[in-house]
Amino acid sequence: MMNSRTVLVALVAFTCVSGAQADVMIETITVGNPGNQGELSGSGAGGTGPDRICGAVGYVYNIGKCEVTAGQYTEFLNAVAATDTYGLYNSYMWSASYGCKIRQLGNSGSHTYVVDYDGDDIEDIDWVNRPVNYISWGDAARFSNWLHNGQPGLDTPVPQDGNSTEDGSYFLNGATANVDLLEIEREVDATWAIPTEDEWYKAAYHKNDGATGNYWNYPTSADSVPSNDLDGGGNNATFRNSDYTVGSPYWRTEVGAHFNSESPYGTFDMGGNVFEWNEAVIDSLRGLRGGSFGSYGSYLHAARRYNYGAPTDGNVYLGFRVAQVPVPSTLTLLALGGLAALRRRR
């Protein structure tokens, strides 16, 4: 299989996405300092979930500067979901009061999609750059495959098959049941992927000070609980305190809105807005990190490992970001201890 190695970067400060465009543009941040040490996360570190050393990554990789947005996911749906074979669209995206307002139009075989709050079939720009929600782990894996395969279907829609959503970074081959999705592993030639727990954790919390084991408690480059203000003053995030950062009808801020609160590597919203999927399998569930717009500030802490996500779940609080990883060479595989090092870490 030929892999797309094109890095699609949106050169738009703080919004992480551009306006109307032919391709889905994902701005990425490089996470360096390979060989850094991890740190304890979980209940033994004062958080939640099984204890694990997290954050050690032996290679340089890129990760999405921001969460995948409703606008980006809509482009994906328009490319591959004229017939939505594997349920990549969730009707609650539009019908639920907390939904990201992606609306499905037409009949199966000719579905189209638009970010449309008021139901007039016209894109509502105020919603496009907010994170997509009602996303399952399987949805995120299929989006990653689509990026890996070069975003087929943008000109003429394509089916959900091995050339678009079912193979690439993950061999899904029609998998939709929890038991099957829990067995899915990243392929060794993957390019775009759901972050491993270590990739996610390092990008969020590591202090970017060399191959060290130094981490912040919060993904806003701080050890103190962020505020949920939207004032740009620093150490802010979108979550619930005594009230929400933004209320009805949006609930979620536009990605990158907390522009002085990035992680040390330069990522935004790794705390709050939506929980983000990672590749971990924890107690027969897929891992989640980061808290959401409906969480309290403590949920953003580095010690919080969440495992309440069955891979078919897609609810109001769940979204994702993607990572861009190198195709490992033989030397890289040897250095990482073989293929097993590229599989999900429990």
pLDDT tens sequence across 234-292: 999 999 998 999 999 999 999 999 989 999 999 999 999 999 999 999 989 999 999 99
Most confident of the following: 7-16, 269-278, 323-332: 269-278
Of residues 18 and 156, the one with the higher pLDDT is 156
Q: Please tell me the distance from the alpha carbon of residue 278 to that of residue 196, in angstroms, as a whole number.
A: 5
What residue spans of 152-271 are helical by DSSP H? 178-181, 197-205
Q: Which residue has the higher pLDDT, 232 or 88?
A: 88
Q: Which CATH class is domain 1-346?
A: alpha beta
Mean pLDDT score, 219-242 = 94
CA torsion through residues 72, 76, 78, 81, sign = negative
3-state SS, residue 31: strand
Q: Identify the H or E element spanning 79.
A: helix 70-80
Domain ranges of the chain: 1-346
pLDDT tens digits for range 40-66: 999 999 999 999 999 999 999 999 999
Residue 193, classed as helix, strand or coil, is strand
Report helix, strand or coil for 141: helix
Measure CA of the first residue to CA of the last residue in the chain; give whole Å: 29
- 67 versus 17: which is more confidently predicted? 67
122 in Cβ contact with 103 (< 8 Å): no
Using CB atoms within 10 A of its CB, is residue 148 exposed (0-12), middle (13-18) or buried (19+)?
buried
Please say whether the beta carbons of 336 and 78 come within 8 A: no
